[in-house]
Amino acid sequence: MSDSLMAAETTPKELSAAEIRRLQDRKEWDAFWQLRKIEAQGKIFDTFQYYGHRLIDWPATWVRENIVEPLHDRKKLPYYHRKLNRVPTIDECGVNDRACFFEANEQYRLDKLVDSYILQILRQRADRCMNYHNPYFKPCAPVIEDLEENELNFFIKYGELGSEADVRDVYMKQKHRLVWERRHPEIMAERERAYKEHKERLANGDFDYSFWKKGMFFQDKKNYEPPYEFYLSKSTTEGDKPLSKDWDYYKKVAQDPEFDKEQGKTSTYKII
């Protein structure tokens, strides 16, 4: 192991992303060789094969850790990430300032594109984890939690606006949402309590998927398929409308206590 990594292990707060990944790879390879050695015990051919593989692997690993990686650390090329300057947002623009409108709208389009890519990466992480651990998805609870929370935040900001919406539509949606939250403090307090309780249960190892979804597919307000979205969030055979498209939903709930009694309360898709 190189001197730089030996020093890095004693000060974990100063580790770079590359060094953390490098140490993780070494731990995984050490575990692999330990497992190979255990499996080869008591077997002549397997023992011979194990030491033959180690004889080939050791020189290459030594050169990599003691020559190549230190050279990479000393001769590291600078990486320049383009950072675009932020322009005034739509709430800072003058009423008739069309140039400011245009710049704010372009910034909104860029932010939406970045958020969509972030959401796509989180979705791919969850898919890879669930495919790897199938059918036991409990190790994937953190990535599923990140995906669901970010999907909800994406819907809160961009949902139900359509592909032709501009920054003013988003601004009006945000304004209406803030007005609604001020008019319903009891609902917001209950949401905060449920969210805090869910996070505490998650920290204790109990991941309740029904907090985000009732079943395997979306059955909540996020169930809205925009024309530019390629990921179906619920089965195409289900004919019921999303709650956000059923304008009489809350009226039905208020009038009939038995209507949609289990919405958001149970989950038929268990995380084990």
Q: Per-residue pLDDT for 213 more than 60?
A: yes
Q: What does the pLDDT average to over 166-195?
A: 90
Render pLDDT for 112-166 as a digit per residue (tens, 0 to 9).
999 989 999 999 999 999 898 888 888 888 998 998 899 888 888 888 787 788 8
Predicted local distance difference test score (pLDDT) of residue 220? 44
Q: How confident is the model at residue 270 (pLDDT cuts 50, 70, 90)?
A: low
Instruction: Yes or no: say if 21 and 34 are a contact pair by the CB < 8 Å rule.
Output: no
pTM: 0.57
Q: Per-residue pLDDT for 241 more than 90?
A: no
Q: Per-residue pLDDT for 239 more than 50?
A: no
Q: What does the pLDDT average to over 214-240?
A: 45
Predicted local distance difference test score (pLDDT) of residue 165? 85
Predicted local distance difference test score (pLDDT) of residue 138? 85
Of 11-15, 48-52, 97-101, 262-266, minimum mean pLDDT range: 262-266
Q: Please report, for the chain, the start and end positions of each structural domain, with discontinuous segments joined by +.
A: 17-75, 98-240
Mean pLDDT of the chain, nearest integer:
79
Higher pLDDT, 30 or 233: 30
Render pLDDT for 176-189 as a digit per residue (tens, 0 to 9).
999 999 998 998 89
Predicted local distance difference test score (pLDDT) of residue 18? 79
Higher pLDDT, 211 or 171: 171
CA 25/CA 8 separation, integer angstroms: 15
Q: What does the pLDDT average to over 34-45?
A: 90
CA 14/CA 4 separation, integer angstroms: 11
Share of the chain above pLDDT 70, in %: 76
* DSSP code string of the chain: --HHHHHHHH-GGG--HHHHHHHHHHHHHHHHHHHHHHHHTT-HHHHHHHHHHHHHHHHHHHHIIIIIHHHHHHTPPP-----PPPPPPGGGS-TT-HHHHHHHHHHHHHHHHHHHHHHHHHHHHHHHHHHHHTT--GGGHHHHHHHHHHHHHHHHHHTTS-TT--HHHHHHHHHHHHHHHHH-HHHHHHHHHHHHHHHHHHHTT---GGGT-SSSS--STT----TT--S-SS-TT--PPPGGG-TTHHHHHHH-TTTTTTTTT--SS---
Q: Can you say how many angstroms the Cα of residue 91 is from the centroid of all Cα atoms in its chain?
A: 29
Render pLDDT for 56-112 as a digit per residue (tens, 0 to 9).
999 999 999 899 888 888 877 777 777 788 999 999 998 888 999 999 999 999 999
